[in-house]
């Protein structure tokens, strides 16, 4: 069954902690993306990767980091430098022309 998986579905973080959100895809897509969604707002691009071992900053990369060591995986780390990390995080991958999304991870800072 092909698709994009994100884990965990819910994540709680204490202030000052780094946390890593997982994104895996078995669609054989080259490109992957991370978006942040805040209540009542659209999607904002955090990082994207067009190919393994390469990634670029999006519009709101400060306080986040990524890696792309495997084609299937694009984990996102939310660092303690991110001042307001509570949000819904969406991962996507794309075939030429179209992006497809995972189910999302809701991160809450306690």
Residues that bind another protein (CB under 8 A): 4, 6, 31, 40-43, 45, 48, 50, 88, 90, 92, 94, 96-104, 106
Indicate the residue among 77 and 88 with the shorter CB distance to another protein: 88
Minimum distance from residue 31 beta carbon to another protein (Å): 5
Minimum distance from residue 19 beta carbon to another protein (Å): 19
Indicate the residue among 18 and 41 with the shorter CB distance to another protein: 41
How many CB atoms neighbour CB 26 within 10 A?
Answer: 13
Minimum distance from residue 106 beta carbon to another protein (Å): 7
Indicate the residue among 17 and 56 with the shorter CB distance to another protein: 56
Measured CA to CA, the distance from residue 80 to residue 68 in angstroms comes to 21
Query: Are residues 74 and 49 in contact, defined by beta-carbon separation less than 8 angstroms?
Result: yes
Minimum distance from residue 69 beta carbon to another protein (Å): 21
Provide φ and ψ at 33, rounded to 5°. Answer: -140, 155
What residues pair up with 68 in beta bridges, in sequence order? none
Measured CA to CA, the distance from residue 42 to residue 11 in angstroms comes to 21
């Amino acid at each position: 069954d092909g698709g994009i998986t994100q884990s965990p579905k819910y994540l709680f973080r204490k202030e000052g902690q780094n946390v890593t959100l997982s994104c895996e895809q078995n669609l054989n897509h080259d490109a992957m993306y991370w978006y942040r969604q805040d209540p009542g707002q659209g999607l904002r691009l955090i990082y994207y990767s067009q190919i393994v071992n390469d990634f670029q900053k999006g519009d709101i990369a400060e306080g986040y980091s990524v890696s792309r060591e495997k084609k299937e995986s694009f984990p996102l780390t939310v660092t303690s430098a991110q001042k307001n990390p509570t949000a819904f995080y969406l991962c996507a991958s794309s075939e030429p022309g179209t992006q497809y999304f995972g189910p999302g991870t809701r991160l809450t800072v306690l």
